[in-house]
Amino acid sequence: MTLNPVTPEFESELRAQLPGPCFGEVTPGYLEEPRGRWQGQAGLLLRPGTTDEVATVVRKAHEARVPLVPYGGGTGLVGGQIAMEGPAPVLLSLERMRAVRGIWPEENVMVVEAGAILSDIHDAASGVDRLFPLTIAAKGSAQIGGNLATNAGGVNVLRYGNARDLCLGVEAVLPNGDIFHGLKRLRKDNSGYDLRNLLIGSEGSLGVITAAALKLYPRPALEGTALMVVPGPEAALSLLALGRDHLGEGISAFELMHRTGLEFLNETMPDVRLPFADLPDWFVLIDIGLARGLDPAGALEALFAEALDKGLASDGLIAQSDAQRQAFWAVRESIPEANRRIGSVSSHDISVPLSVVPDFIARGNEAIAALEPYRVNCFGHLGDGNLHYNVFPPMGEMRGAYVAQRDVVKRTVHDLVHQMGGSVSAEHGVGRLKVEDLERYGDPAKLSAMRAIKAALDPRGIMNPGVILRG
């Protein structure tokens, strides 16, 4: 499929159709990504202010066969927002479309435009005493359109589901410029194929999401947080099961962490206060939210007492104040930054069936140790079977010396994940980083169907070419 570059004629035709504020300057930030691995290119930056303006841009790009890269907060970790090959594309940034179009607290629904920043959505929900539970480390700059395009996960998936589960409807511009008006505020709607879920997770390759109807939740009246030291991942899983037995859906987050993460914090971020005098090998952060009339600290104490009794925990801390809750969470939330400062050889966002998590960790560690004395920081959303299994240079060495080893490390981890029925792309998406992985591990019938769908909806291949499927 031949794509065309942005030409002066293309730009001037758009200038004749769109108001001035739609045109922006391509500053370096638009071409970088959080891990500094790739450098993008752009032929033109467009920042439409309305859905009709988005449709104008897409229709024009479709007619001229000019590639388009939808651009959200730029926080994606798999290069979905970074076009390196082919003609320099139009960057279609949703940054000016950030309105809350409506909130219906009595329906637990909010309709927002795609450029709305995740933390602003949290604030808007709080303003009507509701919770929008999707939360990720990049919430201060990530936009909901990108969260939906990548089906973002995060720490609350265990209780509330991922971005997909939190979306009732979308408005989107399809690759031919047609506007899909799908902003329904309905809990049940079986009227035809599930175009919403096809767009969610398609990473901008099947259309541009311009607005979404989001599910809100009552804010849990009372919340509590604990850290518990566990003998290992197996015990952590049993503790999760025990916790569900005690608390039902009350568990909002259940995060597994390893001693390596604490060591990294010690080495790179000494300001983060560690709540343990002796660093434990494995520990979990448990966050709960309960309806009124219940007692979170008491519930966590009862859970801890039984866990202690059953040998599922050996030590524990239950937050006694909001400040302590935040301190516990700061440990978890600082680990990605500590990882970044240490510099990984290869990072892996993987998931496996819950019950094989302990075996995966044991076999993964063994396979990695057989390569080099790497340091492994394995942590993540245990309740979802989603681990960030990140491999770092041996103590005292720098990643630079191991760049050539990245592929063998990645292959070792991903082969094992695939063999154990897992996914090599759990919550970050495929982007441009994992296109080859998808070809290697993906189901062939699914890949053929995906290619047929892409060709059917975007016959000219203009939408984010090279993402998910080879361009």
| Residue ranges in 1-60 that form contacts with a copy of itself under rule CB under 8 A | none
The stretch near a copy of itself (CB under 8 A) out of 8-16, 91-99, 102-110, 224-232 is 102-110
Residue 463 engages a copy of itself in binding (rule: CB under 8 A): no
Residue 93 engages a copy of itself in binding (rule: CB under 8 A): no
Site for a copy of itself in 214-233 (CB under 8 A): 218, 220-221
d(CA 225, CA 231): 20
d(CA 381, CA 156): 9
Residue 466 engages a copy of itself in binding (rule: CB under 8 A): no
**Amino acid identity for residue 343 in this structure:** G
Residue 206 engages a copy of itself in binding (rule: CB under 8 A): yes
Q: Does residue 2 contact residue 87 with C-beta atoms inside 8 Å?
A: no
Q: How far is the CB of 203 from a copy of itself (least distance, A)?
A: 9
- What is the size of the binding site for a copy of itself (CB under 8 A)? 94
Closer to a copy of itself by Cβ: residue 135 or 425: 425
Closer to a copy of itself by Cβ: residue 127 or 353: 353
Q: Binding a copy of itself by CB under 8 A: which of 4, 119, 197, 324?
A: 197
Residue 122 engages a copy of itself in binding (rule: CB under 8 A): no
d(CA 416, CA 373): 19
d(CA 1, CA 214): 36
Residue 297 engages a copy of itself in binding (rule: CB under 8 A): no
> What is the token pair recorded at 249?
């859906």
Residue 340 engages a copy of itself in binding (rule: CB under 8 A): no
From residue 459, how far is each of 3, 75, 90, 160, 256 by CA, in Å? 12, 28, 18, 36, 44
Binding mask 126-155 for a copy of itself (x = CB under 8 A): ------------------------xx-x--
Binding mask 431-450 for a copy of itself (x = CB under 8 A): ---x---x--xxxxxxxxxx
From residue 264, how far is each of 15, 282, 335, 399, 447 by CA, in Å? 51, 14, 8, 14, 39
Closer to a copy of itself by Cβ: residue 363 or 399: 363
Angle between helices 357-369 and 406-419 (to 10 degrees): 150
Closest CA to 307 of 365, 260, 370, 244: 244
Q: Do β-strands 90-93 and 44-46 pair in parallel, antiparallel, or remain unpaired?
A: parallel
Q: Binding a copy of itself by CB under 8 A: which of 2, 25, 36, 188?
A: 188
Residue 305 engages a copy of itself in binding (rule: CB under 8 A): no
> What is the token pair recorded at 130?
């509701």
* Beta-strand runs (E) in 72-218: 90-93, 100-104, 109-113, 130-131, 167-173, 179-182, 208-215, 217-218
Residue 429 engages a copy of itself in binding (rule: CB under 8 A): yes
Q: Which residues contact 177 (CB under 8 A, 6 or more apart)?
A: 55, 56, 58, 59, 60, 62
d(CA 189, CA 196): 11
Q: Which residues pair with 381 in a beta bridge?
A: 255, 386
Q: How far is the CB of 218 from a copy of itself (least distance, A)?
A: 5
Residue 319 engages a copy of itself in binding (rule: CB under 8 A): no
Q: How far is the CB of 272 from a copy of itself (least distance, A)?
A: 26
Site for a copy of itself in 231-260 (CB under 8 A): 237, 241, 244-250
Closer to a copy of itself by Cβ: residue 369 or 455: 455
Q: How far is the CB of 194 from a copy of itself (least distance, A)?
A: 5
Closer to a copy of itself by Cβ: residue 95 or 171: 171
Q: Binding a copy of itself by CB under 8 A: which of 56, 351, 377, 390?
A: 351
Strand order in the sheet with 208-215: 100-104, 109-113, 208-215, 167-173, 179-182
d(CA 254, CA 242): 12
Backbone angles phi, psi at 308, to 5 degrees: -60, -45
Closer to a copy of itself by Cβ: residue 43 or 70: 70
Residue 184 engages a copy of itself in binding (rule: CB under 8 A): yes
Q: How far is the CB of 184 from a copy of itself (least distance, A)?
A: 7
Q: How far is the CB of 306 from a copy of itself (least distance, A)?
A: 12
The stretch near a copy of itself (CB under 8 A) out of 59-67, 82-90, 172-180, 339-347 is 172-180
Q: Binding a copy of itself by CB under 8 A: which of 4, 59, 100, 104?
A: 104
* Beta-strand runs (E) in 1-83: 23-24, 44-46, 68-71
Site for a copy of itself in 372-391 (CB under 8 A): 381, 383-386
